[in-house]
């Protein structure tokens, strides 16, 4: 943070004072839809961010201070993107609440250390300018002047902080805010500085396959939104974007398609919740992304197995790089800020029905609750001796898989993926190997999970393989509790059978959107056992077992 401050001071010292206009020189509107339900909660003094709700209320004077909530929640509050939700309400009361919150922030929140972090300030600059007509165009002169003065102050700091220290998408948000301010305040030097760093940031943020460095479907979506806004800002100002920008945007759109299930929403890896299909469609349309979903992202490390109506999306690469948390703001700086301990986990859908899922995410929640859904046990994969495959830390991950190998094969329409990771090498001297095979019909998914001990003669500790089920799926133990019968919302039936492990049904919790109860299939292998084989196959009839012969999950 000190380096950022020093760089900011050096840049600002060479600038002329900013002339604050009566209004932004160029009007532009935020492109993305808000949520009227969240807007209604804001009217009641409640701000919900990624499933986590705390008070944000100008009447009671709470919401901006350090004690108001977790750092991710407070950063979102100070970033003002929630104005989309008030705009979605479209009422005079919503407009008044937006102004009251902005006035309250100017009086009580503006000097908070977190509010001045470059990525947070840049998000706020973009939000104020993108909602200027809604927030300030018809407001009284004094309020509008105070907003513009603060916006100019924030923008100077944001531009001076370039290039951003963060390795994650926050650096892209910072660039976007700098460009928006340069256009709105007609600051040519700001634009020159932002364009100088933009090509390098695009290369740093996106792998050659189009995947985002955070390896998160949600951040892939949000980063595409940033790219679209940057492109539109430059076009609107008559500036040709760097040649790399449209190329990266096209690749990012193709990568985003890989993460879509049959219902159009995103798979839940690394801090992702069930982002709605409508927003994903809008982003792909605005990004002019064409073509079909790729079957793998070679550098980013995700695979898509698809046959018939069945789709499997698997995580088969090491977590993204780490970096220490900023000591002053508390914000993570590494690309692993939202990373989960879910290496080699997978999700599965059939048509529009999700079947096997991960538990979702709560990135804005308190530490213990956030980490509960980051844990290996919250993912559809193997967990060895109740120990996470990556160490969970506030700023990201500590111990983690260092070597993740993958090999994919296809023949006559059938596909199989062989992958391994060494996340348990240090604590147990063990490697997890997973094989997935999807038949050409799509009606048969087979798997094998192996714990390979690196020391000759060593025996593995006990482990379990978990299959978290979407809340829309009902599950019953059948065949003397050696198999599980599954019924999808469409009425289609599937059966899971296993060899080398005891089969059981347990409760689970799903945080894909609204928190819901769901079930999970648990395959338990005793100590000394090294291999579990399982098969998920479609059945022609999915009638529930007679009373007394099955147990509902």
Q: What percent of the chain has pLDDT over 90?
A: 88
Res. 549 pLDDT band, cuts 50 70 90: very low
Q: What is the pLDDT of residue 192?
A: 98
In whole angstroms, what is the distance from residue 52 CA to residue 326 CA? 23
Cα 188 to chain centroid, rounded: 34
Give exposure, 337-363, as e/b (b: 16+ Cβ within 10 Å): bbbbbbbbbbbbbbbebbbbbbbbbbb
Peptide bond into 76 cis (omega under 30): no
Tens digits of residue pLDDT in 362-378: 999 988 999 999 999 99
The CA-CA-CA angle for residues 509, 387, 346, to 5°, reads: 55
Res. 481 pLDDT band, cuts 50 70 90: confident
Tens digits of residue pLDDT in 172-189: 999 999 999 999 999 999
143 membership: H or E segment, kind and range: helix 141-160
Note if the pTM is more than 0.85: yes
Phi, psi of 202 (to 5 degrees): -60, -40
Candidates 334, 151, 357, 140; CA nearest to 269 is 357
Helical segments of 275-341, H only:
277-286
Q: Are the C-beta atoms of 168 and 219 separated by less than 8 Å?
A: yes
In 3-state terms, what secondary structure has residue 450?
strand
Say which DSSP state 318 is in.
Answer: P
Averaged pLDDT score across all residues of the chain: 93
Tens digits of residue pLDDT in 406-416: 999 999 999 99
In the CATH hierarchy, which fold is given to the domain comprising 302-320+331-539?
Beta-galactosidase; Chain A, domain 5 (2.70.98)
The CA-CA-CA angle for residues 183, 185, 191, to 5°, reads: 45
Residues of the chain with CATH 2.70.98.70: 302-320+331-539
Say which DSSP state 462 is in.
Answer: P
Radius of gyration of the chain from Cα atoms? 25
Q: Are the C-beta atoms of 175 and 162 separated by less than 8 Å?
A: yes
Res. 547 pLDDT band, cuts 50 70 90: very low
305, β-bridge pairs: 312
The CA-CA-CA angle for residues 81, 85, 88, to 5°, reads: 130
Strands (E), 310-381: 310-315, 346-350, 353-357
Tens digits of residue pLDDT in 414-460: 999 999 999 999 999 999 999 999 999 999 999 999 999 999 999 99
């Amino acid at each position: 943070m000190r380096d950022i401050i020093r760089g900011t001071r050096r840049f600002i010292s060479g600038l002329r004072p900013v002339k604050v206009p009566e209004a932004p020189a160029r009007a532009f509107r935020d492109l993305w839809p808000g949520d009227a339900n969240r807007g209604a909660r804001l009217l009641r003094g409640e701000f919900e961010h990624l499933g986590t709700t705390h008070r944000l209320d100008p009447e009671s004077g709470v919401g901006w201070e350090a004690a108001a909530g977790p750092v991710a929640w407070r950063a979102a509050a100070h970033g003002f993107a929630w104005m989309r939700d008030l705009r979605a309400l479209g009422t005079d009361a919503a407009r008044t609440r937006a102004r009251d919150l902005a006035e309250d922030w100017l009086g009580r929140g503006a000097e908070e250390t977190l509010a001045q972090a470059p990525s947070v300030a840049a998000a706020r600059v973009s939000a104020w300018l993108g909602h200027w007509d809604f927030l300030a165009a018809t407001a009284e002169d004094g309020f509008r002047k105070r907003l513009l003065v603060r916006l100019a102050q924030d923008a100077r700091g944001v531009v001076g902080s370039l290039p951003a220290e963060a390795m994650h998408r926050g650096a892209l948000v910072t660039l976007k805010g700098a460009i928006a301010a340069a256009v709105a305040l007609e600051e040519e030097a700001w634009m020159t500085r932002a364009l100088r760093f933009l090509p390098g940031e695009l290369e740093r943020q996106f792998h050659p396959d189009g995947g985002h460095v955070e390896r998160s479907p949600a951040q892939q979506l949000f980063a595409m939104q940033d790219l679209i806004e940057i492109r539109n800002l430059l076009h609107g100002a008559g500036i040709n974007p760097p040649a790399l920008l449209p190329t990266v945007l096209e690749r990012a759109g193709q990568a985003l398609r890989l993460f879509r299930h049959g219902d159009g929403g995103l798979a839940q890896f690394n801090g992702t919740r069930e982002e709605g299909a409508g927003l994903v469609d809008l982003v792909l349309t605005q990004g002019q992304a064409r073509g079909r979903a790729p079957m793998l992202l070679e550098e980013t490390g995700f695979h898509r197995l698809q046959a018939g109506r069945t789709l499997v999306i698997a995580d088969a690469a090491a977590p993204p790089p780490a970096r220490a948390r900023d000591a002053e703001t508390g914000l993570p700086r590494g690309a692993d800020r939202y990373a989960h301990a879910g290496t080699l986990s997978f999700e599965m859908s059939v048509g529009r029905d999700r079947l096997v899922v991960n538990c979702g995410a709560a990135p804005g929640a308190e530490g213990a609750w956030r980490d509960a859904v980051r844990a290996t046990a919250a993912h559809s994969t193997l967990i060895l001796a109740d120990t996470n495959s990556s160490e969970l830390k506030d700023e990201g991950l500590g111990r983690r898989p260092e070597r993740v190998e993958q090999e994919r094969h296809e023949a006559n329409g059938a596909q199989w993926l062989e992958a391994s990771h060494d996340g348990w090498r240090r604590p147990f001297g063990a490697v997890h190997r997973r094989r997935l095979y999807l038949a050409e019909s799509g009606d048969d998914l087979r798997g094998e999970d192996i714990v390979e001990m690196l020391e000759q003669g060593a025996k593995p500790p006990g482990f379990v393989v978990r299959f978290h089920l979407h809340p829309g799926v009902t599950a019953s133990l059948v065949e003397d509790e050696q198999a599980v019968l599954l019924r999808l919302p469409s009425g289609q039936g599937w059966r899971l059978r296993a060899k080398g492990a005891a089969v059981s049904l347990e409760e689970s919790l799903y945080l894909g959107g609204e928190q819901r109860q769901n079930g999970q299939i648990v395959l338990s292998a005793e100590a000394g056992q090294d291999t579990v084989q399982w098969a998920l196959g479609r059945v022609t009839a999915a009638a529930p077992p007679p009373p007394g012969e099955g147990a509902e999950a």
